[in-house]
Structure 1
């Protein structure tokens, strides 16, 4: 078994701590004094650096995103945001869009382990991930209307994709907090740990994904990103992407393992 390896020191390494074990990168937002706000120094840059490593390293096949100190992410810093001009807010939002894009467009799966609040932009950070594991303390909220703002952080894409337009409308307009069990029931979360933290369950799931057919996962992720498709779009998408997977090493191994009645050993190729 590969032992956990900490990332090398960088200017943002204290704000985002990464460790690697058995093909899984764990990314921990480490700004508990700011409730892991995305406005905290080094957080966005640290996450972007970790995602860059995830994309470039073929040995990394899945990632888990979590927050330190009992919170996933409280979103933006209201004190800071209220002091900025419109142009300054626009520039900050433009920078942050790259974070949501990188998670959503990455071919590798990213699992969010949500313990404590995922509020505002923190909700957007969680929902742009491919799978959400909610812990006992998880609390989700599109809190923007509480302070006279509108949702950002990609939520106009990610919330409807999980909840449909009606569910997204309710969360956005009411600004109501959703706890773990309710989040699971409505489709906001994919798993719920009713008696403890999300992270252990998320790491177990990520280990499973890391041993799976990562090329196929990537094509599924890219296809779902375009949902809902028309029939013609769906048929064209499968024509554009399916043949390459059927010709892949992983498919040959999967088919052989099925016929031999054994567990396949996928290599992501």
Structure 2
């Protein structure tokens, strides 16, 4: 049997367990969902990024700024003077929080931080739930890029293939709100963000769709179903839920979609 995610005529609901696990976000002024962020990599073109919910509050931007790789880890948190006046590129992890990485970069004179996701889960929002960045006094802009883009950026930095970057971050427009109801997002509303892509919708709108379909209303990337026959066919065809970087099949959809 072919379902909605496979391009056939019959729509199949998203798995009930998956619906329960998809994160809900209550929007506040700092929520990344209200902002769009673009990193310009010179001749490498532009890539989408997510703005961290810490550091300088959008809107902000910079042009023609140098980049420098910095890798503070637990017990060895010093960032070299090479980042002074530049944007520090840092991988997520190493036993150091986002806030402390940004703080170390700021102390060393960096004008911003590009954090590189260290796993395939994307999008990923950098939060500061413990208000650590606020306590430390982080005031420089912080953003995150996906793993494969970030690793190439790090290689380019080391090989001298990248000179300067530009970054712009600002409010999304009304047209970039919930595509289901055609309304924008507002502070205080609850939204649901798809684990297979960066698309977000009002919670009520998303649930109405996902209880009848197993894909994103925008890009049609699939989510799991409770239909065993459909899932067997999906595996046979080699369709991966993530639709992102990397390949291969992963039958543990909870690990694949939610880490």
**TM-score in terms of structure 1 length:** 0.27
Larger RCO (CA within 8 A; separation ≥ 6)? 2
Indicate the structure with greater helix content: 1
**TM-score in terms of structure 2 length:** 0.28
